[in-house]
Structure 1
């Protein structure tokens, strides 16, 4: 078992990474939680594959459970779904001493964590991420949110879990598109902070070879995120580095109504577009853009900006939550493994998007 601990001023929590950890999850939770009630928030895809296994494992340890199921996909991160989830949690008569488990990908983690943060003004919750994107990124750091008509993740809070349990074996049941969606975030970590990880990803010959090494890939990504979150929990400084490709990516997602591109696909396009532009502006080391595109393509992700209304894209990007007053922050690469935050005026963004 690999273990990391996120150490924050107000709260510290463990991250456990182990193949097969889901098989004895009840026993592991019993070590850190002494009450009986557990509400499980998941989506219908995950529930069909693993819901009964998780619930049976918890019942075996004498926990009283309730499964709350949402539809998969970004559209479930809405006020309407949040309200239904909160109503079901209240019907279960949870108290502040009880526990919520967010069991799924990034959507479930964001929605479930946000519900946990507002029910009774805060109930402890555990993340059990089932997608690669959630395992290496969204399940730690405490960002929880829903979307609005104005953009993605604009309504939310910072609410840290009490523990994160990561079972890499769960990734084997993912469809290829969902798996590679998560690889965009892995590529991001290599590009911004870990040159060795980036070049290792270039060298894996098959998906199976990658899966054989996935424990350490996950560990490498989470080590970076843990370090950044510990320095900047509330995303006002260094943590913004984790948003490489995201400002453009979120804009693309919104312009296509969250239907054409997955989050990772949109982020991959964003990383490629901004790096090609910054290289032409002689901000980024020559050849970086070609390397990045090569790695993006290797993991079946797009890197070319789609046919899109630029006015709408810029409008969506200007609504990004990382913007401050009359300026916005973008993340650029100096070279592979080296990144920095650049503050620009919103009207300057066009020159940082290579179409």
Structure 2
């Protein structure tokens, strides 16, 4: 078991990573909560809900199960969680446990941030992707006009990551998670990036996976501590997300998994970076790695005007100007503000480059 400590403006919390830690939750909770609500999706609930509830034989524990997938991260599901919390009689001394991937973590975290003006919550991530979303306290739901536009910064009281739960992941979920890992490597760690380029993500050992997760989580935690509310260096974590989020929204949530969309966004960011900053970036190496690991890179419908409008409404834009995280080099990220016409031209040349592959 490994422990990473994170300091936020409101509290300090620990990220606990290890095997079978889902059976030891009471060891990591510092308060005596009046009641507990476990929020999960229909897939994860069937696998692990009983394990979590079993931690609290002497507590009042309630369950809320939402639909699986990004399409559930909406105002209707959020409202249902609030209704459940009210009907179950949760109070300000209650705890919400988010059991699942990034969708559940964002939903349950945002419900906790807003119920009775904020109650404690714990992240129990069950996907590789959630190593990223569970750390840092960004919680949100989607709007049909853009991803994560309704949300808050609200840190958990703990992140408890049982790597045993990753054994149930399908290939798409593995792809999605490793896209965020390679993003973290690209912005902060050359050696990690080179190591990932040699990795077949579907055939990693438990030790390799835990090592990758710890490296990615430490990068995320260090950046979050430096810039909790994304006014500076935390923006670098959005590498690949400008186009990635726009594709998710335009194609319809769920058509591409989040990490699959981010993977395309990473290639686009590197494509733009090569032309604006450094022509020697490893675009071809990244493309080959993504292709070898079966990321869906082709047969994507790009609607440039729509994508640009979505990018301009993204929470990262300033005065309707699109901000993109680019790379001067591996582990040297920068933020550039680009005009619509520039983005359109880069998209056109990127599409030509991708079709030629």
Match of 2:257 among 262, 272, 275: 262
* Consecutive unaligned residues in structure 1, runs of 5 or more: none
Query: Which segment is superposed worse, 302-311 or 16-25?
Result: 302-311
SS of match in other structure, 1:69? strand
2:197–2:286 Cα contact (<8 Å) kept: no
Residues 47-86 of structure 1: matches in 2 within 5 Å? 47-59=45-57, 62-86=58-82
Aligned to 1:40: 38
Residues 18-167 of structure 1: matches in 2 within 5 Å? 18-25=18-25, 27-29=26-28, 31-59=29-57, 62-135=58-131, 137-167=132-162
Match of 2:222 among 224, 227, 230: 227
Query: Which segment is superposed worse, 295-304 or 312-321?
Result: 295-304
Separation in structure 2 between the aligned mates of residue 147 and residue 287 of structure 1, nearest angstrom: 33
2:34–2:93 Cα contact (<8 Å) kept: no
1:195 to 2:190 alignment: yes
Once the two structures are superposed, residues 258-289 of structure 1 have per-residue CA deviations (whole angstroms, 9 ceiling, x without a partner) of: 1321111111011112212321x151341511
SS of match in other structure, 1:89? helix
Tell me how large the CA RMSD over aligned residues is: 1.6
Residues 168-187 of structure 1: matches in 2 within 5 Å? 168-187=163-182
1:15–1:163 Cα contact (<8 Å) kept: yes
Separation in structure 1 between the aligned mates of residue 215 and residue 165 of structure 2, nearest angstrom: 18
Aligned to 2:330: 336
1:109–1:129 Cα contact (<8 Å) kept: yes
SS of match in other structure, 1:313? helix
SS of match in other structure, 1:207? coil
Once the two structures are superposed, residues 103-126 of structure 1 have per-residue CA deviations (whole angstroms, 9 ceiling, x without a partner) of: 110000001000001100000000
Separation in structure 2 between the aligned mates of residue 13 and residue 211 of structure 1, nearest angstrom: 25
1:351–1:96 distance in 2 versus 1, CA, 3 Å: same
Deviation at 1:240, TM superposition (A): 0.7
* Consecutive unaligned residues in structure 2, runs of 5 or more: 352-357
Deviation at 1:253, TM superposition (A): 0.8
Deviation at 1:245, TM superposition (A): 0.7
SS of match in other structure, 1:276? helix
SS of match in other structure, 1:213? helix
Separation in structure 1 between the aligned mates of residue 253 and residue 206 of structure 2, nearest angstrom: 28
Tell me the matched-pair count: 349
Separation in structure 2 between the aligned mates of residue 241 and residue 250 of structure 1, nearest angstrom: 15
Aligned to 1:300: 294
Tell me the TM-score normalised to structure 1 length.
0.94
Match of 2:243 among 241, 248, 252: 248
Separation in structure 1 between the aligned mates of residue 207 and residue 200 of structure 2, nearest angstrom: 12
